[in-house]
Structure 1
Amino acid sequence: MSSDEILRLNFIAQTIVIYAGSSMFICGILGNIVNIFLFTFHRQFKSLSVSRFLLFSFFGSQLNLLSAFLPQLISRITGNDPLVKFEMLCKLRWFFGPVTGTVALHGICLASVNHYLLSLQNIRYHRWITQRRSYFICLFVLFYSVLFISPNLIYFTHWINTSNVTTCDIINPIAASYNVYIGLIIYSLIPILVLSILSSLIWFNIRKIIIRRNGIEQTITRLLVGQVVMVLFTTIAFAISRIYFLYTKNFWKDSLRLAQENVASSVMLLFSISTHCMSFYVYFLVSKMFRQNLYHIFYKQKRQIQPMVALQHTVHRI
């Protein structure tokens, strides 16, 4: 009975990642592409200073899906883990994955800081984050993310575990502890604290001046608040699971408990990647103006294409 239960739980874990994970991966890639397009080319969105930080976050999320989640998805679908075949791929996955994930989350934090300054009544704070400064701030975040995660390029390697299976992991216990704690701090605790505090302050300030805000500023506020709530929910869930696995990593666990944790780990993986997949869909749900602008762009493109097609038919007849 125990053996059947273990097989069933492992099957559930694999099914969760393959089907739900594949769907979220595809939706996330498409959603990030649309977000990048809108905040790069749409006249209203690209004119706002907060858009630069959001774009920084969107690019980080897109690269995180490709560098961190895609190898896991390939491993679950095919049964062959590419990380255990090529040592360099093992190192790069555990370098680019955390770096891009940190960039994506801290980009949202920077957008929240920017929007908090814009929500203050003193107008001199509105001019504090200029276009030039925003670029330097983004480069600084990228620099310290690379700096803190760079040990992964050295310490992640191939090794054979007690089951005689080659895995991609850290052998050095000090480096392993550093990787866990630095990931917990910069990927979970810092974003949770910053977003929790700033979202409360922004909401308090916006309630006092919301009538005087123009339409696009109100839209950005709704988009940012919706995204912050989503990120807080998913990041807190990820942090709780990270703390649990950190606390229990030295405990002896039987096969049944390992199978149960495999299911929980698969669910937490979905929570983790949803941070990088769901921004576009949260925006679409919370903001009517976002939906209208999206519809206007695609409808306008369609209307531009149709006259060209009609003209081609006319020329062909002549």
Structure 2
Amino acid sequence: MSSSYVIYLNSLSQTISTYGSLALFVLGIFGNFVNIILFTFHRQLNKLPTTTFLVVSFLASQVNLCIVSIPQLLSRFAGSDPLTKYPILCKLRWFFGPVTAIVGLHGFCLAIINQYLLTSKHIRYRQLITRNRSYFICLTVIFYALVFLTPNLFYFTHWINSSNKTICDIINPIAANYNVYIGLVVYCFIPILTLSIFSLLMWLNVRRILVRQHEMEQTMTRLLIGQIIMVLLTTVAFVIHRMYFLYTKNLSKSSLQLAEENVISAVAVLFITSTHWMSFYVYVFTSKTFRHNLSDIIFRQQGQIRPAVAKTRTPAHKT
């Protein structure tokens, strides 16, 4: 294979990474901002305990997009990576980046757990998580993420690689392995198991019509179903991507193989990071009620969300 093809693939991976990241950054900032405003200030949505978990998830995802994307975009467009210039930025990016990613994903998992409880036939389950308890649970999740990622503050640093370039990475092999595996466990395996189990239980409750939900709770359940599917897909993709590069990093590869992997990795990373920006667009795509509510706020400035179902509770409903 000619070297020109390898150069083309490397250029393609750079283009995908640069302009794809820019597009997703803009979409993500806008989508998370609208979600935060809608779920925080709308007087029907903000009464639900599930909303607390979702707003925390949106806020964490918004911060994550800024922490992760801005240094990358500056490096691509300005030709200078701030993480390789300032050690403190190197440490903070690899501390708060994973922390906000974990909080964002776990906040969504807590929303699913709460929706499962709200669909239960047992009254004590439906009353288990109050607004005050939801605040305490969110603070606990933030604290637990900070504790798990504290080693990154100490072990991420500058060092010179084989190409004589300064990079931001972990030198200590034990700390490097800890960072990889704690990420797989806390960011992937726990959310995958949580979402799989509680989304199935929630779906069974809804199918059996064990309890008549409040209209807004029905709307919330429907909004979350599409997001569950997308989060599971992106999280599983993260596991596959991380495991592949973990177990092939020491293998000898040709320049063509490396170039092909770069293209695949660029596409995979864009898909994986959609975990933290796509919720708004999933809601818009899957829920007619959400689109109407959004339209009312933007164009009509009405203070009431349209009900998810008619008050007569007809058998079939459209979303």
State the TM-score, normalizing by the size of structure 2.
0.92
Q: Deviations over 1:119-150 (max 9, x none)?
A: 11011111111111111111111011000111
Per the alignment, residue 126 of structure 1 pairs with: 126
Superposition pairs for residues 14-25 of structure 1, below 5 Å? 14-25=14-25
Give the distance between the partners of 2:67 and 2:212, measured in 1 at CA: 43
Give the distance between the partners of 1:136 and 1:90, measured in 2 at CA: 31
**What letter matches 1:271 in structure 2?**
F
Give the distance between the partners of 2:289 and 2:17, measured in 1 at CA: 34
Q: Which runs of 5+ in 1 are unaligned?
A: 303-318
Per the alignment, residue 250 of structure 1 pairs with: 250
Query: Are 1:95 and 1:149, in contact at CA under 8 Å, matched by a contact in 2?
Result: yes
Give the distance between the partners of 1:211 and 1:197, measured in 2 at CA: 20
Give the distance between the partners of 1:243 and 1:127, measured in 2 at CA: 40
Q: Deviations over 1:205-244 (max 9, x none)?
A: 0111288334322210111111111100111111100010
| Mean CA deviation greater in 23-32 or 259-268 | 259-268
Superposition pairs for residues 141-220 of structure 1, below 5 Å? 141-209=141-209, 212-220=212-220
Q: Deviations over 1:271-295 (max 9, x none)?
A: 2210111000000111111111111
**What letter matches 2:209 in structure 1?**
I
Indicate whether 1:102 and 2:115 are aligned.
Answer: no
Q: Deviations over 1:4-53 (max 9, x none)?
A: 12211111111111222211110100000000000011111101110000
Per the alignment, residue 91 of structure 1 pairs with: 91
Query: Are 2:119 and 2:213, in contact at CA under 8 Å, matched by a contact in 1?
Result: no
Q: Deviations over 1:173-211 (max 9, x none)?
A: 000000000011111111111101111111110111288
Q: CA RMSD in A?
A: 1.5
Give the distance between the partners of 1:219 and 1:181, measured in 2 at CA: 37
Per the alignment, residue 56 of structure 2 pairs with: 56
Moved over 3 A (4+): none
What secondary structure, in the 3-state scheme, does the structure 1 residue paired with 2:157 have? strand
Query: Are 2:121 and 2:211, in contact at CA under 8 Å, matched by a contact in 1?
Result: no
Indicate whether 1:294 and 2:294 are aligned.
Answer: yes
Give the distance between the partners of 2:6 and 2:78, measured in 1 at CA: 21
**What letter matches 1:288 in structure 2?**
K
Give the distance between the partners of 2:77 and 2:211, measured in 1 at CA: 52
Q: Which runs of 5+ in 2 are unaligned?
A: 303-319
Query: Are 1:61 and 1:104, in contact at CA under 8 Å, matched by a contact in 2?
Result: yes
Give the distance between the partners of 1:78 and 1:110, measured in 2 at CA: 39
Give the distance between the partners of 1:21 and 1:285, measured in 2 at CA: 22
Q: 1:80 Cα shift? A: 1.8
| Mean CA deviation greater in 249-258 or 203-212 | 203-212
What secondary structure, in the 3-state scheme, does the structure 2 residue paired with 1:43 have? coil
Give the distance between the partners of 1:92 and 1:28, measured in 2 at CA: 21
Q: Percent identity?
A: 60
Superposition pairs for residues 216-231 of structure 1, below 5 Å? 216-231=216-231
- Structure with bigger helix share is 1
What secondary structure, in the 3-state scheme, does the structure 2 residue paired with 1:230 have? helix
Give the distance between the partners of 2:247 and 2:119, measured in 1 at CA: 41
Q: 1:70 Cα shift? A: 2.1
Give the distance between the partners of 1:214 and 1:175, measured in 2 at CA: 48
| Mean CA deviation greater in 75-84 or 155-164 | 75-84
Give the distance between the partners of 1:166 and 1:258, measured in 2 at CA: 21
Give the distance between the partners of 1:239 and 1:91, measured in 2 at CA: 24
